[in-house]
Chain A
Amino acid sequence: MIRYVCKYTPIELFAGFGAECAVLDDIPENFDLSDGVAHANLCGFGKSVIEAVLAGEVDELVLVNCCDTMRRVYDVVRNSEACRFLHLIDLPHDGGCGRESFARELLRLKAACAAYTRREFDRKAFAAAFSPPSPAVEPYVGILGVRAGREMEAMMRDGLALPVRNLTCIGNRAVAAPGASPENGKDETALFMEYAGALLSQLPCRRMNDTTGRKQLYNDPNLRGIVYHTIKFCDYYGFEYAEIKSGLSVPILRLETDYTLQSRGQLRTRIEAFSETLSGLGGRERIRMNKTGKYYVAGIDSGSASTDVVILDNDRNVMASIVIPTGGGAQSSAEKSLAEALDLAGMERGAISRIVATGYGREHIRSGGESITEISCHARGAHFLNPGVRTVIDIGGQDSKVIRIDETGAVRNFVMNGKCAAGTGRFLEMMARTLGLSLKEMSERGLSWKEDVVISSMCTVFAESEVVSLVAQNRAVPDIIHGLNNSVAAKVAALVGRLGLEGDFIITGGVAKNKGVVHAIEGKLGIKLYVCDEAQICGALGAALFALD
């Protein structure tokens, strides 16, 4: 089975030799084999190709010189000598003078296939392999950007309320048959010139010189939203995202992955939150409360660091709230915190009419009637706490997010940190441990800094070694803490920058209690943050408010 990676691959040619082929889009669990032979700045997809080859899953591979990664993947795979058939096609950057050189490349591949398969080229089989594209006839969400991989695409289909079309680089392959009847007549050179032209006339991928044709992807009247996928270290699609993000008429969600599913939870949260943004919470059918008289609801925010519960009465009065560390799993922490909150409120479990769960553990909480992402819940909670707020900065244990909300508290846009602890509560927790301080001590001591210390490493592990070096240099602890606070602030400011400054601003999540970080963010952005006692329970409060609907 020949595996290929790029839509400009002449797969109809393989059919002409009776060879089966398939896109190589398996998402590996890890890159253990690849990391041993290639450097870390290879994009996750490039690593996945090497991983599949070294694991013995692929031994016939046709690559296209489509990006710098693929050029180097070819080098690495070739040196591994693990493929029986390996070929690199040079792809020109446009269809003008490039057509001739591409036709030569196709003929070179044809000769290689003939030698490898020991078969004659069958024009009839070649002609039969072309299939016309199917246009969109109903509203859909488009997956754009770079390839998403089979499993990730399935996750999007599950998480989004609308039909999903894969329009990524490899997903939108559509090649017209060269001429009226490629199986007869024409001489081979003319046939392959036409074939090269047909391949190069596809909707251009972001690599090509002229990408104006890509506009049709964003202007389709049936398009309702875009999930824009980029892979860390992919060079093209980040450029396109930067270019298009502000001029679109439909909502866009950017997902940056490393082409593994190691962050499934975070990916699912983003996709579901986006689905909520697209169609309101009506994206999933919600049953409206039909209860009269006095009743109570609860919101449970199951986060990576803490599990928070808020109990409200039907007049939106907070009856009890509690924050406990998430210990032995989402379910048990949720039960424990709910029981403690009920104790505080002096209520029985049966008094709670409805529970909405949010946070990473939301799907694992059986006591919850339904789950809503923490993006929507923080937005709702923040709006309740301060209706003037338009930007929510939530710094939680394992992620930080910036949410843009409208005057009703509905989410208009949001961004989250990538798969990296920098700029999160976990980062501060690790640094506090390195300094031998509690989080509370760190928060207080960071306020009495005198000298600006710069922590330049964005990586938590490197930042830790930087802190150790600074301690060894006898730098004052408050100054080091101030440097760390600024590092978190820089990361948050970059996220805010992606949405644009729009006040008022509120900070939520556990890190809101750290005055040093609050001051650093205010200084970095030149704004004033609304800080309130309920900052840490904002997600649970939002969930409880949804439960009242």
Chain B
Amino acid sequence: MNQRLEAQHRLGGLIQKHYGRAREIERTREQPIAWASTGAPNEILWAMGFFVQFPEAYAATCGARHAAHAHCAVTEARGYERHLCTYCRNSIGASLAEMEGTGAFEPLARPDFLLVSNNSCILITKWWEHLSHYWKIPMINIDSPLVVPGMDRGDIIGHVKRQCIDLIQFLEDFTKKRFDHDRMKEIVENGKRSADGYRGMLDASRHDPVPASFFDLIGHNFPNLVLRYDPASAEHYEQMKTELDMRIAGGVAAAPGMKYRLYWDGVPYWFAIRNLYEKLRNFGMSLVTSTYFEVFAFENLDPSHPLDSVAENTAMFYLNRSVGYKTETTERIFRDFHLDGGVFAYASSCKPFSISMHYIADTVRKKLGAPVTIIEGDLVDETFYDEERNNTKLQALAEALAAKRK
């Protein structure tokens, strides 16, 4: 964070432009607005001319700006349980506050349509269902079976593709427009270029010293998630890669003097990022990379088979994979990125990331001999976060790494 990348300024501009445009469209209604989940087949929405916003990304922003708590309180007052996903509680609370005029933090532009897929978790379908109920607009869920051993990959992708075709038919009726296959191809092409650039950005972190830390890169999920339909996203990553390569060539480190390269597992505690960054730096530990980035990789896109590849992207979404696949991916990342240890961030209300975390952490520790620690908190709910306990665990990790190196 102290060695600021030029790409950070450019990212700020892209984010500002996106939300500015959303406000404008909300006013002019020149495009329909959809709210979509991260892993949904969103290329179809872009091809149909929707302006797409992401409640999950909005929740992360609210968390980082310490605004989520107020939204969650609105939801809890309605009788929703505190153990429900905090992204969900934030989103429903912000929507209710916006509708009732009690004030939400920089709310998303009001939606006309909701698209979700259960490939990240099943709870998200209920979250969207309630958004649909409150906003009184249609929603569609793309059912994406969990990819477990014994299930046929082709069957799963075919099942998702059939629903994508149904979605297109629904949207043609909804927008009174024909689906434009050429536009779809163009969007998938842009997405493919963006996803390649995103991977290039991540791979730069294999270098030692790392040119940009996990904390520097985390915000750069935004273009590949929100803007990959637009060439601006790929351009952003291409310029960023040049900047990272220059750092590598010049031997510039994200934070000089770091002794240990660490892996991060799970969703960042958005409200505590700066605090964690400083704490880790004080212990000589640099967070290098994470499987969290895999959630935003979208690397199955293929312009020669636009719809099939979009269905494949949805069906093979990282969170929809078995624990065995996730463990293998984590092991590979440890090896490819020369990582010394890992911080596993348990999120109290997030099951997909947290429930099998023990197993993955244990496997990494036993098979690779890498010290790991599991810290505790929640995505954007600060009341679950115990800074003292987590700092103790991080310090213990630093001590274990030091002892191992002796």
Contacts and interface: CB of A to CB of B under 8 A. Distances in A.
Contacts of A222: none
A239 B129 contact: yes
Contacts of B146: 65, 71, 88, 90
Given A101-B155, A104-B155, A238 B84 contact: yes
Interface string A49-72: 000000000000000011111011
Contacts of A450: none
A68 B352 contact: yes
A68 B79 contact: no
B383 A456 contact: yes
Interface stretch (A38-46, A116-124, A179-187, A388-396): A38-46
Nearest to A97: B162
A101 B388 CA distance: 49
A422 B336 CA distance: 46
Interface in B241-271: none
Contacts of B81: 230, 232, 238, 256
A100 to B, nearest CB: 8
B346 A39 contact: yes
B9 interface: no
B122 A462 contact: no
Interface residues of B, number: 53
Interface string A215-256: 000000000000000101101101101110100000000001
Contacts of B206: none
A207 B348 CA distance: 21
A256 B79 CA distance: 12
Interface stretch (A73-81, A327-335, A364-372): A73-81
A243 B143 CA distance: 23
A209 B141 CA distance: 7
B148 interface: yes
Interface in B311-366: 322-323, 346-352, 354-359
Contact of B118 (A46, A93, A101, A108): A93
A209 B118 CA distance: 11
Contact of A494 (B76, B118, B166, B388): B76
A166 B354 CA distance: 32
Contacts of A159: none
Count class of interface residues, chain A: 35 or more
A510 to B, nearest CB: 26
B122 A68 contact: yes
Given A68-B123, A97-B166, A75 B356 contact: yes
A75 B323 contact: yes
Contact of A456 (B159, B351, B382): B382
Contact of B78 (A67, A97, A242): A242
Nearest to A104: B155
Contacts of A92: 143, 145
Contact of A233 (B83, B143, B163, B384): B83
Contact of B355 (A76, A207, A230, A465): A76
A94 interface: yes
B386 A457 contact: yes
B114 to A, nearest CB: 12
A235 B81 CA distance: 9
B96 to A, nearest CB: 11
A206 B357 CA distance: 27
A131 interface: no
A465 B356 contact: no
Nearest to A242: B79
A265 interface: no
Contacts of A76: 355-356, 359
Shortest Cβ-Cβ A-B pairs, 8 listed = A72-B355, A75-B323, A497-B77, A90-B145, A238-B81, A68-B351, A235-B123, A242-B79
28 contacts: A38-B355, A38-B358, A39-B358, A40-B348, A41-B346, A41-B350, A41-B354, A68-B351, A72-B323, A72-B356, A75-B323, A76-B356, A90-B148, A97-B166, A98-B143, A207-B125, A209-B125, A233-B83, A236-B126, A238-B84, A239-B129, A256-B81, A456-B382, A456-B385, A457-B383, A458-B82, A465-B388, A497-B79
Interface of A: 37-42, 46, 65-69, 71-76, 78-79, 88, 90, 92-94, 97-98, 100-101, 104, 108, 112, 206-207, 209, 230, 232-233, 235-236, 238-239, 241-243, 245, 256, 456-458, 462, 465-466, 469, 494, 497-498
Given A75-B322, A235-B84, A457-B386, 13 more contacts: A39-B346, A39-B358, A41-B346, A41-B350, A78-B323, A90-B146, A92-B145, A97-B159, A235-B85, A235-B123, A465-B388, A466-B386, A498-B77
Interface of B: 76-85, 118, 121-123, 125-126, 129-130, 133, 141, 143, 145-146, 148, 150-151, 155, 159, 162-163, 166, 322-323, 346-352, 354-359, 382-386, 388-389
